[in-house]
Structure formats: C-alpha cells, structure tokens
A and B are shown apart, each in its own frame.
Chain A
Amino acid sequence: MITRPMIAAVLSTTAAVVSAAAGPLQVTSSILAESRAAAADGTTRITLVKPSQITPGDKVIFVLAYRNTGTQPLANVVLDNPLPRAIAYRSANPGSPAPDVSVDGKTFGSLGTLRVRSLDGSTRAASPNDVTSVRWRLASPLAAGSQGQFAFQAVVR
C-alpha cells in the first residue's frame, strides 16, 4: 500500500520531531482558551490564554503558527490538522482564514459541500461535529523568514 512514497522516504531517515526541527518550515501547535475582560471603553476584550481547567463543553482555540526558517521560499504549503477525537470543530477563529474541512480525512472542502454517510447508507449534510480534519493551503509561496498563523475554535466533547 504505497501511496505517498516521497513523504515516507523523507521521514524514513529520521524521526518526526527531528525532521520538524531540521526542516525549513516550523509549525507550532498550541491549544488556548478565551479570556474575557471588560475594557476601559466598555467593550469586552477577548484575549487568548493558556487554559485553566478544561471540561466537556468548554471552548478551546487551536492555533497553528508557521514560519519559514530557511533561505528558500516554500511553495504549495499545506497545513493539515486532524482533530483529536474528543474535540468538536466549531469555526475558524476570528481573524483567521477559514480552513477547508473534511469529515473523512480524504475529501476537503467548505462544510456546506460535505455530506456524511449514515449507517443505513443514506447521506446528510455534514455538521461541524462531523469534522475530523481541517486544512489550510497557502495560495502564494512563503518567503524566507516570513511567518503566519491559523486558528480555529472547537469545543471539548
């Protein structure tokens, strides 16, 4: 079952953590929570903080920060984040581009275009709870030294 020989070949030489450190593209994943505080102008200011207690039903923010540490521009950058099973996707975080999502890990698109097959063979429109993976593609090459981040909101099931 050889589907991605190139990736396998790259990774077969070294362990993942090492390759992440060695490659030009650094990706950092973090899980944050919203902290709401009343600002002086009467609005509510939302900041992202390291979460205190996290229990079912709580909203968490997944942040993927990426950075090109190399000297060459990187093309066709794709960031893929399969969701932990206990996490239910909700939406892109405000300020972050919306990801393509997938309910089967294979087909990606906007949520409205995806359908879920039920046990009886019928299909229904996918809901955020069905999302198993999110993915972003950078439309233009990532110049050397440049960086950015994506984020999405989710809840603990």
Chain B
Amino acid sequence: MHARGAIRTLGAGRTLSAGRTLGAGHTLGAGRTLGAGHTLSAGRTFGASCTVRASCMVRASRALMAGTAAIVAVGFAATTASAQAQAPGPAGTAAGTTVSNTAQASYLVNGVQQSTTSNTTSFVVDRKVNLTVIANQPANTPVAIGQAGAVTTFRVTNNTNGTQDFLLSTSQTPVQGLFAGDNFDVSNIKVYVDSNNNGTYDIGVDTATYINELAADASVAVFIVADVPNQQTATLAGITLIAQVAAGGDAAAQGTPLAASVGLNDDAVVDVVFADNDSDGAGLDIANNGQGRAALGYEITTRNVSLSVAKTQLVVSDPVSGVLAPKAIPGAVVQYCLTVTNATLLTPANNVNLTDLIPANTTYQMGSIVIGVPGVNPICTVAGFIANDNGSPIVGTPFTGSYDAAAKRITATIPTLLGGTSVAASFRVTIN
C-alpha cells in the first residue's frame, strides 16, 4: 500500500486508485472519487460532494464538510503490517465499533459505462461479556495457626471485547468436592489488585479493591489477604474469589455491574451480551451471569503446641547413710528428673530437645541419662531406656541422650511427643 507523502490536494476529476493511502493533512477536493481499498486516516477533510466508494468503519475525528454524501472510510489490506497490527485480539472486534457495508455496481447502458453504490447498512458491535478467573498458585497456601495476612493469589482475565472494571468479592461457602476437610473460616478478608503487576502481594502498594479499566484480553493478579484464627482444630479453609464484570470507561471510579440487555437489538446501541462460562461446574456459578470464580485453600501446616517442663530432684544415696535417708553431703548422688508435657491434644510436637546444665559443685555421673514414660514421684521413669552419652541411637526406642562434657550439659531428644502425653528424662550427679 503506497502512502501519499507530502501534503497535497487531489484535484478535481482525479481518482485515487486502489491500495493508496491518503495521508494526514490531505484534502480530497470536490467531486473526487476515492476507489476501493483506500485507507483514510483520522483527521481527513472531505470537500463537498466527494464520494468515497467502498465500505468500512467510520472512524472518530473525521471532519465532514457540508454537502458530503456517503462518507465512509476505508481500511483493509490483509497483507500489510498495519492491518495485522490492528487485527483484534481473541476477544474480537471492540464493542461499539460501527460496521458499515456499502456495495458498488458498475454496468453498461447502451454501451455507456455507469456505476452506482448501494445504501449503507450498518450495525454496532455489541459487548460480548466474558472473563476468566483462575487460581494462580500451584497449591493451597500453607499457613500457621493464628497467622495474620495470609495471601492467596488469583488471576482475572478480561475476555470481553472492551475495557471493563471488575468488582471483586469472596465466599467461604465450601466448594463441593474441592475442599474436603474444610473446617474453619478465615477472618478479616481483604481483596487487593496487583497494582504494580509483579504478581506478588506488596503491602501498602497493592491497595486497589477492584480492577480498574482492564483492557480486552488483558489480565491482572488479584490477592485475597486474610487472617487465620487461633483455633487448634483448624485444618483447611477454602476461599473463593468472585469477579463481576462492571462498566468501564471511568478511570476514577468503580463501574456498576453490567446487566444483560433485554429486548430487541438497537443497531445504534452497544448491547450487553453475557457469554461467560459456568466457571465452577458446582452450582455456585452459572453461565452467562457476568461472573467468574476460582477457589483456593488456606492449609494449616504449622501449629503451635503447648509444651511444659517440670524438674524435680532427689538425693538417691550418700557415702555415710547409703540409700536410707540419704543427705546431700559431698559424695552424695542426686537425681534430677525432667518431665516434658505436650498439652495440645491431637497435635504432636516434633524434635523436642530437653537440655539441662550440670549444677555447679557437682559431677555428672557417666551413663546416667534415662528416658522413658514418667513414673509417680519419686520414681522418674518407668522402664526407661538408658542413653548412650554420645547421642547414638538406643536399641528399642527413638529417644537419644547425650552429655556435652565441655558445656557440662545433658540433652534428651524426643523425636515425636504426641499430644496429651509426657516423657521424662533423668540423670544423676555426684556432689563434689
């Protein structure tokens, strides 16, 4: 397609042949004919009585002078870069685009060539409302009991053939079959749009609560931010993001939800046609309602447990009295008993380490660490296991014990302490 370069006027009686572009600042003089296949860019002036043969969309900003007839701009050329650049995206031709059609005819009457054009018929492309809402993270968000500001990430895509706002809301109604085991609700729920488009929730930066002016075929991340209650039985909370297509066009304010047009088509008005899917197939969303939804879960993976340790001491023997009413004199043997209790029912504590320093003026009695089920005072452990002081595994039990001579510290390790149970560890020292 050739472009007409310098500003010029197409004089009377001239025809601009097919495939030409009349550039900015040109004037198509009176009585001119513009043939099929021409592109007239915005801002062109048509003089009186000009005829533009062919069909096309009327573009904005055309200056039309008095006496103009049958003005339509031309714009097509399947083989040029400009045409490919202007091709609509998957959402299709923008809503509000006027499609006008005019045919032309030529014929001979008694050997004289004549031509004519048809009427111009036109319609306005209506708004085909569609959207996609997806969960934009590979798995549920792992959270801890009592965690504040836990984030789930979604993505909303505008498949409408126009720029739209999207109103955002949430639901904690369990999605059937998707969140088996949903047993708690999160609180303090906020929904924010990824304002800086980095895909990550930034506190204080991503503050918009609705999607503003999302172009056709564009998408944006949306975050749900919520608090996990301090509730020990909590396991899983499903959360659903609901996006509702709303009117675009006002960059400063949130649009109102679109409603499907009812009644007969008005060719000059952009009707609203809902074309969205049933996005969950579970009855909570339905097709053609202008809404889309997706669900994610908050999954408890870290819990706090209530651990407590009790320590008792007992003089076992002394060099004078032996085991009968022993006194704490130098040379006497003293047993310390540490009892750890996990008071959180149903939640095991992992890797519990009991440590204690050997008191001053005493000497650790090698091989005296015993770990096992607590006994009734004064018995520390029942059928306890004697630990190897080097921390190596003990036959018959997962418990281990060790003595650090440099730090004068004993350690008893309990790999798993079930909820509601206790384990005791004892060691002995000799008074110097």
Contacts and interface: CB of A to CB of B under 8 A. Distances in A.
Interface of A: 1-20, 23-31, 50-57, 62, 64, 66, 70, 72, 74-87, 103-106, 116-119, 126, 129-133, 142, 156-157
B101 A29 contact: yes
Contacts of A86: 57, 88, 93, 97, 99, 125
A83 B76 contact: yes
Interface of B: 10, 12-20, 31-33, 35-37, 49, 51, 53-57, 67-70, 74-79, 81, 83-84, 86-88, 91-93, 95, 97, 99-110, 113-128, 161, 261, 264-265, 271, 273, 275
Contact of A80 (B12, B57, B67, B103): B103
B118 A51 contact: no
Given A28-B118, A132-B37, A5 B103 contact: no
A85 B107 CA distance: 26
Contacts of B109: 24, 70, 72, 74-75
A15 B128 contact: no
14 contacts: A8-B31, A26-B116, A27-B104, A53-B126, A53-B271, A54-B125, A54-B126, A56-B92, A64-B103, A75-B109, A78-B105, A82-B102, A85-B86, A156-B92
Contacts of B81: 119
B92 A20 contact: no
Contact of B115 (A11, A53, A119, A133): A11
B51 to A, nearest CB: 5
A56 B88 contact: yes
A23 B107 CA distance: 11
Contacts of B103: 27, 29, 64, 79-81
A56 B54 CA distance: 22
Given A56-B93, A133-B37, A142-B107, A87 B99 contact: yes
A24 B265 CA distance: 34
A132 B116 contact: no
Nearest to A142: B107
Contacts of B12: 12
The main secondary structure of chain B at its interface with chain A is loop
Nearest to A21: B116
B14 A1 contact: yes
A82 B265 contact: no
A53 B106 CA distance: 33
A56 to B, nearest CB: 2
The 4 closest A-B pairs by CB, nearest first: A56-B92, A15-B69, A105-B37, A55-B128
A82 B125 contact: no
Contacts of B120: 29
Given A4-B35, A80-B105, A156-B93, 15 more contacts: A2-B13, A3-B35, A10-B115, A29-B103, A31-B101, A53-B261, A54-B126, A56-B128, A62-B101, A78-B106, A78-B107, A81-B102, A82-B54, A83-B76, A85-B57
A105 to B, nearest CB: 3
Given A1-B20, A83-B55, A9 B13 contact: yes
Contact of A74 (B69, B99, B108): B108
A80 B118 CA distance: 10
Nearest to A134: B103
A57 B161 CA distance: 11
Given A12-B33, A29-B101, A55-B128, A2 B121 contact: no
Contacts of A31: 99, 101, 121-123
Contacts of A23: 114, 116
A7 B15 contact: yes
A67 B284 CA distance: 56
B79 A15 contact: no
B92 A29 contact: no
A25 B107 contact: yes
Nearest to B84: A119
B335 to A, nearest CB: 84
A52 B107 contact: no
A15 B65 CA distance: 13
A132 B36 CA distance: 10
Contact of A19 (B10, B36, B84, B116): B116
B76 A85 contact: yes
Contacts of A30: 121
A62 B37 CA distance: 19
B273 A10 contact: no
B88 A4 contact: no
Which of A24, A70, A117, A156 neighbours the largest number of chain B CB atoms within 10 Å of its CB?
A156
A80 B117 CA distance: 9
